[in-house]
A and B are shown apart, each in its own frame.
Chain A
Amino acid sequence: MDAFTTHTGVGVPLRRSNVDTDQIIPAVYLKRVTRDGFEDGLFSAWRNDPTFVLNDPSYAGGSVLVAGPDFGTGSSREHAVWALQNYGFKVVISARFADIFRGNSGKAGLLAAQVDEKVIQRLWDYLADQPGASITVDLETRTVRAGEGPDAIEDSFDIDDYTRWRLLEGLDDIGITLGHADDIDSYEATRPTWKPATIKA
């Protein structure tokens, strides 16, 4: 997993609340045997609608999703996070996340930044005003920034300390365990020789 310190990218306003994982990626897209390629199923029910935000060229290359409250409810499928990442999102900003979605995001390296509802509204207004504008999300200082001058938006976001640490270090569970590789090596050195192996040395 890549370390995450700060990210600046095109903001995409998703003016909907209660977006569940079936809306993020419907079950019919789950038959794949890889962790990539799920971007074609992302928000698939809405992609046929020409007015849907992802079909608006102004937001092309978007990487910071600004969503309504209760994002990621429903089934626990890890694919919802993969679909957002496969599309190119690095950050989702919302006023409330479903717990499992937040957990899965942290594991996979997608930053779920929780902000005050008023901040969402200001970001939406700003992005409607200036389509294609960028948002900066700074994990070190836990701040979201957009715009310049007197109307600039700057506010803090919430993320638990452990997830923040893992993201800053770029560590997933496997990365953390690999950090104990010395312990694993010394354990292996003590394994009896009669233990079975599937492939002979």
Chain B
Amino acid sequence: MGRTLSEKVWDEHVVRSSEGEPDLLYIDLHLIHEVTSPQAFDGLRLNGRTVRRPDLTLATEDHNVPTLDWDKPIADPVSKTQVDTLRKNAADFGVRLHPLGDVEQGIVHVVGPQLGLTQPGMTIVCGDSHTSTHGAFGAIAFGIGTSEVEHVLATQTLMQAKPKTMAVTINGSLPAGVTAKDMVLTLIAHTGTGGGQGYIVEYRGQAIEELSMEGRMTVCNMSIEWGAKAGLIAPDQTTFDYIEGRPEAPSGDEWDAAVAHWSSLVTDADALFDKEIVLDASEMTPFVTWGTNPGQGVPLGASVPFPEQYDNAEDRIAAEKALEYMGLEAGTPMREVKVDTVFVGSCTNGRIEDLRLAAEIIEGHTVDADTRLLVVPGSVRVRLQAQEEGLDKIFIAAGAEWRGAGCSMCLGMNPDTLQPGERSASTSNRNFEGRQGKGGRTHLVSIPVAAATAIRGTLSSPADLTPATTGSN
């Protein structure tokens, strides 16, 4: 019988397997950041161990770095300690680090693909749950805890039980103005936040094939939000074109050998999945969340749901609680929800295509007088590329704040946070209570919805905008 894509990649990485024990998997790339690595390095020191493969390890500073005044000493003491510790650990153990101020600094999941380090058929781990992003290239990529970080540092392997397999097939084409973000939010609302628990998911079908690499990363990024262990997409010409010529991509004969192998990484026609979900992209519309988990979403054209409409008591109670926290009244059209802050950024939607799309919509418009728009590039490279294209000027002219690279308001570990009761439309991936700041209320949205919302001050799509009055060409 044939094998699925994820089974092929898994099998290629088994160092040792023994009946009744988890497989020992080899790890091709280990990404590190300042928040989840300090105790792992300390554990190595206490046991007199070293990093087995510093050449398969990469560190960046992203989670709690400031996006303003990044050339000055970090003001927050905990953040400063964590960053300083990462720098010392990287130096002591010979790990390549891209610190604040470096041209390759940025969110770990933006930096890996951008450097060409993320390639098909790899195993990639990081002490961060959104490591699933790298699955867009046909890699098995997932988040791990600090003890596992130490295990990978010391051995370049991980003990892992083999997950079940699931296929998510998305047929048809996305309508104009509907994005990868809307696709994955629709999927999560369909499955619930636990729907992927225990599975490695392969996304496939026409709508997935038609996505750019960046769109595919947006979809895989949110795999963890419906509970999947990892999500991946078979590599194809789009994938190869994206990687070719990047700093760490193979070249010459090595490139040919790599592409020949990568081309074999597809699910065999007779392979079986443990579970399958089929959706139709042509029916999808701009999608936004109303609640406090990524599964609590509705089309932008719909209204805040009534808790009574849920059959199951648990969902009903969750909805009541969410509405109370979010300060929303059931039945209110989503388009009437007023937003204080719009956040464009994160490893979900902080890449160059995202900023181009946002700028295209915003150009010639002005940000609503009562709304703040924060644009945070996912990496310094993205920031520089955007500046080269003049996108920063468009944002600034519209009244937005143009920031330095990092995770920023995605998790509010740096100074970029919501105030209690403040409402955001955010292109990030989590709308949990307090995620963007204590008492903050988050609506997850796509780039077009974020841009249109910033202009109108209420949840909106570009279709709601009156044509730009100035500066448009």
Interface residue ranges, A against B (CB under 8 Å): 1, 31, 33-36, 78, 107, 172-174, 177-178, 180, 183-184, 187-188, 191-201
- Which B residue sits closest to A78, measured CB to CB? B147
Question: Can you list the 8 inter-chain pairs with the closest CB atoms, starting with the nearest?
Answer: A33-B38, A194-B254, A194-B250, A199-B55, A194-B258, A33-B85, A197-B55, A35-B42
Residues from 1 to 42 in B contacting A, C-beta threshold 8 Å = 15-16, 24, 26, 28-29, 38-39, 42
* Distance, CA A199 to CA B55, complexed state (A): 5
Interface residue ranges, B against A (CB under 8 Å): 15-16, 24, 26, 28-29, 38-39, 42-43, 46-47, 49, 52, 54-58, 78, 81-82, 85, 94, 96, 116-117, 119, 122, 147, 150-151, 154-157, 159, 248-250, 254-255, 257-258, 261
- Which B residue sits closest to A1, measured CB to CB? B47
Say whether A198 contacts B257, CB under 8 Å: no
Say whether B58 contacts A173, CB under 8 Å: no
Say whether A177 contacts B42, CB under 8 Å: no
* Distance, CA A78 to CA B39, complexed state (A): 11
* Distance, CA A184 to CA B53, complexed state (A): 12
Say whether B42 contacts A36, CB under 8 Å: yes
Shortest C-beta distance, B195 to chain A (Å), equals 25
Shortest C-beta distance, B330 to chain A (Å), equals 35
- Which A residue sits closest to B40, measured CB to CB? A35
Partner of B16, one of A107, A183, A188, A191: A183
* A residues in contact with B156, CB < 8 Å: 184, 188
* B residues in contact with A183, CB < 8 Å: 15-16, 24
Shortest C-beta distance, B99 to chain A (Å), equals 15
A-B contact pairs, 11 of them (CB 8 A): A34-B42, A174-B150, A174-B155, A178-B154, A184-B52, A188-B26, A191-B26, A195-B28, A196-B119, A199-B54, A199-B55
Q: A174-B49, A180-B16 are in contact. Are A195 and B122 (CB under 8 A)?
A: yes
Shortest C-beta distance, A90 to chain B (Å), equals 15
* A residues in contact with B24, CB < 8 Å: 177, 180, 183-184
Known: A177-B24, A197-B56. 13 other contacts (CB 8 A): A33-B38, A35-B43, A107-B147, A173-B151, A173-B159, A177-B151, A178-B155, A187-B15, A195-B122, A196-B249, A198-B55, A198-B248, A201-B55
* A residues in contact with B122, CB < 8 Å: 195-196
